[in-house]
Amino acid sequence: MPVSPRPRAVVACPSLPLPPVSGGRKRALRLIEAIDRAGARPHVLAHAGTVEQIEALRERGWEAEVIPHGRSPLTPLRRIRQDALGEPEPHLRAMAARIAELSRWAVIAQMEEAWLEQYVRVLPVRRKLLRVASPHNADAEMLGAFAESAAQRDDGREALRLRVRSSRMRRTERRAVRGADLTITVSGHDDAYFRCLGARGTLLVPNGVDDDLFDVAPASGEPGRVLFFGAYHWAPNRDGLVRFLRDGWAAVASAHPSARLRVAGSGDLAPIRAAAAGLEGVEVAGLVDDIAAEIAAAQVVVVPVWGGGGTRIKVLEAMAAARPIVGTAVGVERIGFSDGRHGLVRESPADLAAGIVELLGAPGRAVALGTAAREQVRGFGWTTLTGPLEARYRQAVEAVR
C-alpha cells in the first residue's frame, strides 16, 4: 500500500536555523523538530541562509528556501504603508506572498520571532490550519525598557526612536497574537503579557538545553578560563560584553595573570575586537564548531547583560553543564537563579570582575555552585519541554488524516 505524503508545515524564520549558532536559531530548530516528530513535513522560509544550510535541512527531509530582503525594495509608498500599519520591519511582498501560497495547503503555519510575527495576518483562515505565533521575547516591552534607559542617559533622540519602535512592535504583537490560533511563549511573564494583548490561546514552552550538556563533568574546566558566548547581532549581548571589556576585565587579568576570557559566537565582532585591543588574556574566537565543548572547557561563565527580555539559552546551557555563572540580574532572570546558590549576581562591570576573581580563586566553591545550578535546570531538556507543543501539533496533523 503506498504511503500518503506527510502534510506540510510552513515555518518562517529570520534566518535558517541550522547550524543552531544562536539562542534564537536553537529555539526555532527545536520547535521545528517537534513539528517533524508530530508528523508534518517542515517547509522553512527565511530571510537569510546559504546553499549549505538549505542542503543540511533537506538532508533531514525538510524543505527550505531563502527570500532575502533585497527582493522587495522599500519604496516611499511602501514606507508610508509600513508607518500606517505600525509594522516594525519592512513588509516584504515576496515573503508575504510565499507564506500565503504555501499555507493554503498546510496544516501548520508558524511565524518565528519579531520580524516574522507581522505575517500572521497574511495567513488564510481555514478550519484545518493551525496558525501559530512564536515570539521569542516580549519585544515591545523590551524596547520600552531600552527607551527608558536612553532617557536616563539624556539621549532624547534615541529614546524617541525606541519609543516609536516599541509602539509599532506592540501593535504588531497585538495583531499577531489575536490573529493566531496559538501563541508559543517563553516564560510565565511573557505568557501573561501576550494574554493581556488578547492572545486567543497560549502555550508556555520555556527555553531548554540539549541533554548531552548534563553529562559534562563538573570539575572538568580549564583553570582560569572564563567564557562568554552569544550572538552579537543582538545588541544586549554585544553592548554588554563591550562594557565589561572596557570596565571590568582588566581587574580580572590583574588579579589572575593566567586568566583567559574566551569570546565565542556569531555576528559582528568588530566592536568587540576594538574593546579587547590591548587587554591581556582576551581571545575573540567568533563562531565555533562546538559550543558544548567551549562550555565544558570553561571554569566560569560570565553574563554581562544589562538589557533584553525572556530567558537566555546560554545561561541554561552553562547551568546544565555545571558551570558557575557570574552575571547580572537581568542576565539570569526568570529561571530561578539564586545569588550565592547557583552562581553570583553582580551589577557593575567592576563587581562582575570581582565575582570572577572570587570564583577563580576558590575552585571548590565554583564546582559546588555549578553542581547546584545543574540541579536547578534538571527537566529543562528540549524534548521534555516541547512535549505538550508536539501533542498540539499532532492534533493538527491528525485532523487532516
pLDDT in tens, 219-263: 889 999 999 998 888 888 999 999 999 999 999 999 999 999 999
Residue 13: give its domain's CATH number.
Answer: 3.40.50.2000
Query: Is residue 296 domain-resident?
Result: yes
- As for how many domains the chain has, the answer is 2
382 within 8 A of 334, measured Cβ to Cβ: no
Q: Looking at the structure, do residues 153 and 127 belong to the same domain, yes or no?
A: yes
Query: Is residue 2 domain-resident?
Result: no
Query: Is residue 19 domain-resident?
Result: yes
CA distance linking residue 259 with residue 271, whole number of Å: 22
Angle of the 139-152 helix axis to the 156-179 helix axis, nearest 10: 170
- State how far the alpha carbon of 339 is from the alpha carbons of 94, 265, 295, 325, 355, in Å: 48, 26, 20, 10, 11
Query: Is residue 159 domain-resident?
Result: yes
Q: Looking at the structure, do residues 224 and 327 belong to the same domain, yes or no?
A: yes
Q: In 3-state terms, what secondary structure has residue 40?
A: coil
182 within 8 A of 131, measured Cβ to Cβ: yes
Report whether pLDDT(2) > 50: no
Q: Looking at the structure, do residues 51 and 191 belong to the same domain, yes or no?
A: yes
| Domain span at 265 | 211-376
Q: Looking at the structure, do residues 346 and 313 belong to the same domain, yes or no?
A: yes
- State how far the alpha carbon of 25 is from the alpha carbons of 22, 30, 197, 314, 316, in Å: 5, 9, 25, 12, 15
Q: Looking at the structure, do residues 70 and 131 belong to the same domain, yes or no?
A: yes
Q: Looking at the structure, do residues 136 and 178 belong to the same domain, yes or no?
A: yes
Per-residue confidence (pLDDT) for residue 145, from 0 to 100: 83
Q: Looking at the structure, do residues 276 and 390 belong to the same domain, yes or no?
A: no
Task: Provide the pLDDT confidence category of residue 72 given band limits of 50, 70 and 90.
Answer: low
Task: Provide the pLDDT confidence category of residue 311 given band limits of 50, 70 and 90.
Answer: low
The predicted model gives 83-95 an average pLDDT of 73
Q: Looking at the structure, do residues 158 and 83 belong to the same domain, yes or no?
A: yes
Angle of the 313-320 helix axis to the 363-376 helix axis, nearest 10: 110
Query: Is residue 381 domain-resident?
Result: no
Q: Looking at the structure, do residues 170 and 226 belong to the same domain, yes or no?
A: no
Query: Is residue 3 domain-resident?
Result: no
pLDDT over 70 for what percent of the chain?
A: 93
Mean per-residue pLDDT of the chain: 90
Q: Looking at the structure, do residues 74 and 184 belong to the same domain, yes or no?
A: yes
Task: Please list, residue by residue across 71-103, b when 16 or more beta carbons sit within 10 angstroms of its beta carbon and e when fewer do.
Answer: ebeeeeeeeeebeeebbbbbbbeebbebbeebb
- Whether residue 90 is preceded by a cis peptide bond, meaning omega within 30 degrees of 0, is no
Residue spans of beta strands (DSSP E) within 36-173 = 41-48, 63-66, 106-112, 130-134
Per-residue confidence (pLDDT) for residue 1, from 0 to 100: 39
Stated pTM of the model? 0.84
Cα–chain center distance at 397: 27
373 within 8 A of 344, measured Cβ to Cβ: no
Query: Is residue 189 domain-resident?
Result: yes
Q: Looking at the structure, do residues 33 and 174 belong to the same domain, yes or no?
A: yes
The predicted model gives 351-366 an average pLDDT of 96
Q: Looking at the structure, do residues 77 and 157 belong to the same domain, yes or no?
A: yes
Cell numbers that stand for 203 in this block: 502555550
Report whether pLDDT(300) > 60: yes
